[in-house]
A = this chain, B = another copy of it.
Amino acid sequence: MADENISDLIERYLKEILAQNEQVKIRRSEIAGLFDVVPSQINYVINTRFTIQNGYIVESKRGGGGYIRIEKVHLLDDIDVLNSLIAAIGNKLSKRDSETIVQTLYNNELINRREVSIILAAIDKDAIDLNSSDLTDIMRANIMVSILNRLRYER
């Protein structure tokens, strides 16, 4: 929907193939040529959009006949998904990664659309960002307001 930059176009191109093929095998320079970008931009696209958190496994090989293969993984059961996600989080989590995780939960049908946005509201920057102290109660207020605001509308 918001494909204004080339990386998004490349992402969409690959995902369209993956929508029908379970896996896609490319020659890096070919795709780079197709979209008229430097080859390393393909790595950028893969590193930012085809991570394991997003549900993709990437394999590659260099040298003659080299390739990059992207495979959409089918996560076994819900607990495994949750365990691996929790393990991957550690003790810091960027906004971007958090959104990726929520998307994965949705893709694996662990949460529905409405729950997606409740969770996003909970971890919204405006909700949890604060510079003053007296932390816990203030944070709770911020998070609660964020959630309430979310509940105002549909979708």
Question: Are the CB atoms of A91 and B128 closer together than 8 Å?
Answer: no
Please, which residue of chain B has its CB at the minimum distance from the CB of A128?
B139
Kindly list chain B residues whose C-beta atoms are within 8 Å of the C-beta of A2.
25, 61, 67, 69
Please tell me if the beta carbons of B140 and A76 are within 8 angstroms of each other in the complex: no
| Chain A interface size, under 10 / 10 to 19 / 20 to 34 / 35 or more | 35 or more
Complexed CA–CA distance, A115 and B65 (Å): 29
Query: Cβ of A17 < 8 Å from any Cβ of B?
Result: no
- Complex CA gap A5/B130 in Å reads 32
Known: A93-B141, A135-B130, A136-B128. A119 touches B105 (CB 8 A): no
Chain B residues near A142: list those with CB within 8 A: 91
Instruction: Indicate if A118 sits at the interface (CB-CB under 8 A).
Output: yes
Q: A119-B118, A140-B123, A153-B74 are in contact. Are A5 and B63 (CB under 8 A)?
A: yes
Residues in B neighbouring A65, C-beta threshold 8 A: 3-6, 8
Residue A46 interfacial (CB < 8 Å): no
Tell yes or no: A147 within 8 A of B by CB: yes
Q: In chain A between 99 and 144, which residues have their CB closer than 8 angstroms to a CB of chain B?
A: 101, 105, 110-111, 114-115, 118-119, 122-123, 125, 128-130, 134-144
* A/B interface sample: 10 pairs, CB < 8 A: A2-B61, A5-B64, A5-B65, A55-B152, A73-B154, A73-B155, A89-B145, A122-B122, A123-B139, A128-B136
